[in-house]
Amino acid sequence: KFIFATTEVRKVPVTVISRCQRFDLIRIKSDLLLKFLKKIVQLEKGSISEKALKLIVKISEGSVRDSLSLLERALISQILDNKELDLNSAQKIFGYFDKSHLIELMKLIFQGKEEQALLKFRGISDLGIDPKIFLNDFLEILYFMKNIKIFGKNEINFSLSDNQTYEIE
């Protein structure tokens, strides 16, 4: 028996696909993945805050393999620093940043302050943020702003803190 696994099914020739039995694996729900990661941290005798673990779950987008890879990086950093890995440290390790920077950028864009918006963007870029993360967060905030306008603040499930939510309004 031969097992062929890929994340790029489109690139596999039809002649190969026609001779294979196909199993599409689905992403794991966030709460289950979080419990799984907590158990691994406990077994490894690591010390990572729940907020940092939630960040790992969010970045991995339900992929167990990706979450384990990120958790390994987090555990190594935690061991090297010899203290609990908190959210701020995890954000630095994974190239995440405070969304309030994006909210400020959007305010500048909506106010038509082009030069200040470009300077703000340059500042965000200088933090070393992964472009994919920047775009995802930017689109997420736009989506959030649209939904606040339509549905109101209380109807939205979103990962901004209360302070950041008030900044948008």
Confidence (pLDDT) at 149: 74
- Give mean pLDDT, residues 18-34: 87
Q: Residue 54's closest CA among 79, 27, 35?
A: 35
Lowest mean pLDDT among 53-62, 76-85, 149-158: 149-158
Under DSSP, is residue 49 helix (H, G, I), strand (E, B) or coil? coil
Lowest mean pLDDT among 6-15, 27-36, 89-98: 89-98
Whether the predicted pLDDT of 162 surpasses 70: no
The overall average pLDDT reported for the chain is 83
Confidence (pLDDT) at 152: 67
Confidence (pLDDT) at 153: 61
- Give mean pLDDT, residues 41-53: 92
Distance between CA 160 and CA 22 in Å, rounded? 39
Enter the pTM of the model. Answer: 0.61
**Residue pointed to by tokens 């062929």:** 4
Q: DSSP letter string over 14-48?
A: HHHHTTS---PPPPPPHHHHHHHHHHHHHHTT--B
18, 62, 165 from 159: Cα distances, Å: 42, 16, 9
Confidence (pLDDT) at 161: 45
Distance between CA 81 and CA 84 in Å, rounded? 8
85 forms bridges with which residues in the sheet? 48
Residue 167 tokens read as 């900044």
Whether the predicted pLDDT of 117 surpasses 50: yes
**Residue pointed to by tokens 């950093």:** 77
> Do the Cβ atoms of 87 and 48 come closer than 8 Å?
no
